[in-house]
Amino acid sequence: MTMPKAFSTHEVFNQSPPLENYNLFTSDAVLVETVEREDGGATMASLAAFGGKIGTSEIIDLGRQANTYLPVLKSFDRFGHRLDKVEFHPSYHQLMSLSVEQGLHGSPWDHLLDGSAPKPGAVVSRLAGTYMMTQIEAGHGCPITMTNAAVPALLFQSDLAKEWVPRVLSREYDPTFAPAREKTGVTFGMGMTEKQGGTDVRANTTVAEPVDGGGPGREYRITGHKWFFSAPMCDAFLVLAQAPGGLSCFLMPRFTPDGSPNAIRIQRLKDKVGNKSNASSEVEFQAAAAWLIGEEGRGIRNILEMATYTRLDCAVATAGMMRGTVANAIHHCSYRTVFQKKLIDQPLMMNVLADLALETEAATALSFRVARAFDNAAIDEAEAAYKRIMTPVAKYWVCKRAPNLAYEAMECLGGNGYVEEAIAGRIYREMPVNAIWEGSGNVMCLDVLRALSREPEALDVVLAEFDSAKGQNAAYDGALTALKEGFADPVGLEARSRQIVEVMAKVAAGSILLRHAPGVVADAYCTTRLGRDWGDIYGTLPMGVDPRAILERASVRR
């Protein structure tokens, strides 16, 4: 008697294969064009190699593992001694190693090792790698971002920079819990906010007492707490505390000079909505040793130099996640058949996907234009002005647009998107964090107003670039005129700042697309986002837009 195969009840068909074993760089026409346009062309070969390396099924699965097997706090050893350590799954360390080897943690600062000039396009090139790596796994990017951003803050204190910057710029990731001098490479975190203040860091109560008189580069002992202390296994942290001369910025190493662990007591790990692979903690400092960066009372200025760079990373990484989730949606719909047609050929689904692709290309264009300003700010005052104004604009708008886009992309996959095995759910939970961290939406809008109040001429620089795209699209021209009128009316400017910054971001993206993207993309974006010939949700592109041409540009190219 022949027995039937166990559980042989049906054949699995009409399911899309996983999007894997592809090159995240060469398959992305928009990213390739963007890097070339924004002066990152010298590293195209390196980016292509990196895009191929991380697009394999094995590396993609590391992202799943790092978000399944989460960090665990080890407060004490079995004998009761304090440990204050966090254990990570090996997949997390593998992801960190890949990012450090590529230089995502600090390659724009490599010139500091030999005193040479910065390499053209170094910021753009690093962020192109970040854009791709975030599609694989976003959580480990937190310490990678903070390490890169710590360098300009360290430069305010030359003796500390001389000691620590070479350690940062190593291309070897070393996860061992040991003094920095014994390691092959280090990472940096930061500690700014406290329970009672949050964004209002001037309300911080953590106290720094000088040792032997204090002063720039000298030792202090810090007592207090931090409510959000991300990546507590980093080797050092930039921390704000109240010194005798006011709120100040300090370098707090994980180990003291005698080789013993510093008095950083991890109270618990945050149970976050997303960003699960990254350990975020609450800590207390019990007379922890730290060294002053710059003058007492200049803490906000010094640590905001770090925050400026992390804000740019927030915008670019978010655009990368947008690309990742939209690419997966387009891939799925290219294989799935419904009602005798591929989903991607169904007119309404085609409209949705094309709308998501438009938003993603605009976010990418705006973020990398700001990145180019970072590359050129030191040698071009106009670029420095663009950087100061448009960094908070880009972070505000790109990060605000992303969560709903991630939801719509998830819906394109149907039930397959709403399960933990799929990356769509992980990206959806990740999306809000970049809008909240490093300055929430209101803070970004107020930063724009503050920057313009200090440097009103910077607005002329930005508007001059916007003017260069005039005459190509009526909706764009009308929005630009309305933007200028909005700035000309000072009444209620703060209360209207979200509206103004939104228009500023969309006009900025539109100006880039009109000058550099295919007409089908630029006109569709300006008509819908600036002309309001569009609904309140994705998938409402008007007649006259060519969604198939937009999708051909956005599809993964093998």
pLDDT the model gives residue 3: 58
Residue ranges for the chain with pLDDT beneath 70 = 1-7
Separation CA 522–CA 529 (nearest Å): 11
Q: What is the DSSP letter of 178?
A: S
Tokens of 74: 């080890």
Residues 6+ apart with CB under 8 A from 91: 62, 63, 65, 66, 69
Cβ burial, residue 383 (10 Å; 0-12/13-18/19+): middle
What is the pLDDT at residue 198? 81
Per DSSP, the three-state class of 122 is helix
Q: Which of 22, 45, 11, 13 is nearest to 330 (CA)?
A: 22
Q: What integer pLDDT is reported at residue 2 of this predicted model? A: 59
Of 106, 117, 108, the C-alpha closest to 144 is 106
The answer to whether the CB of 204 falls within 8 A of the CB of 250 is: no
**pLDDT value for 421:** 85
Q: Residue 40 — φ and ψ, nearest 5°?
A: -100, 15
Among 193, 167, 279, 270, CA closest to 232: 279
**Residue 239 has which token pair?**
């921390």
Give residue 8's pLDDT.
Answer: 78
Tokens of residue 443, six digits: 């803070």
Q: Using an 8 Å Cβ cutoff, are 361 and 405 in contact?
A: no
**pTM, rounded to two decimals:** 0.96
d(CA 122, CA 507): 26
Contacts of 116 (CB under 8 A, 6+ apart): none
Determine whether 258 is exposed, middle or buried from the number of CB atoms within 10 Å of its CB (0-12, 13-18, 19+). Answer: exposed
Both tokens assigned to 241: 């505390």
| pLDDT value at residue 118 | 95
**pLDDT tens-place string over residues 93-112:** 999 999 999 999 999 999 99
